Amino acid sequence: MNLIVAADSKWGIGKNGGLLADLPTDMKYFREHTEGKAVVMGRKTLESLPGRKGLPKRVNYVLTTNPDFKAERCIAVHSEDELWDALSRYEPDDVWLIGGASLFNWFYSMCERLYVTKIDADLDADTFIENFDEDPDFEIISESEPVTENGITYRFRVYQRKAD
């Protein structure tokens, strides 16, 4: 499993239940990496998507404790055991963890690579993830040139789990 997230300078990822910024090139990057794959998200992230529907061209798994949860294009999973069971049919590189903070913080250490769109600004977030730079198990293996959109500069960075 890999993870994909956009995080600001303080590792903020969301505000008022939504994203921090409108970054079209980042959205394209997200689509290119996740289309045709399985994506895993928490119920609150699903609620933030347009129309409260799963993402098109992807198999959408939504974690929720609500046994009655239903949403278009989504497969509900109700526990970690149920999630790992559902994901066992995929190759690890075909599964993407896409948020939100609760899932990132619980599961990032199980990911092989962390695709972080690192925003060079404090966007006044209310939802944060761990600082991956402080995790000795991961190292940066690539970083793009800066991209500036809507007055915000960011880079596409990839962290890889270190070999044992």
Ligand X SMILES: NC(=O)c1ccc[n+]([C@@H]2O[C@H](COP(=O)([O-])OP(=O)(O)OC[C@H]3O[C@@H](n4cnc5c(N)ncnc54)[C@H](OP(=O)(O)O)[C@@H]3O)[C@@H](O)[C@H]2O)c1
Residue 42 is a binding residue for ligand X (CB under 6 A): yes
Does residue 120 touch ligand X according to CB under 6 A?
no
- What mask, x for binding ligand X by CB under 6 A, covers residues 14 to 33? x--xxx--------------
* Site for ligand X contains 119 (CB under 6 A): no
DSSP string, the chain: -EEEEEE-TT-EEEBTTB-S---HHHHHHHHHHHTTSEEEEEHHHHHHSGGG-PPTTSEEEEE-S-TT---TTEEEE-SHHHHHHHHTTS-GGGEEEEE-HHHHHHHGGG-SEEEEEEESS----SEE---GGG-TTEEEEEEPPPEEETTEEEEEEEEEEPP-
Is residue 34 near ligand X by the rule CB under 6 A?
no
- The one among 43, 113, 118, 157 contacting ligand X by CB under 6 A: 43
Q: How far is the CB of 158 from ligand X (least distance, A)?
A: 15
Q: Considering only the stretches 89-97, 99-107, 147-155, 156-164, report the one whose residues sit in contact with ligand X under the rule CB under 6 A.
A: 99-107
Map the footprint of ligand X across residues 57-96, applying CB under 6 A. 63-66, 78-80
Cβ nearer to ligand X, comparing 13 with 59: 13
Closest distance to ligand X from the beta carbon of 63 (Å): 4
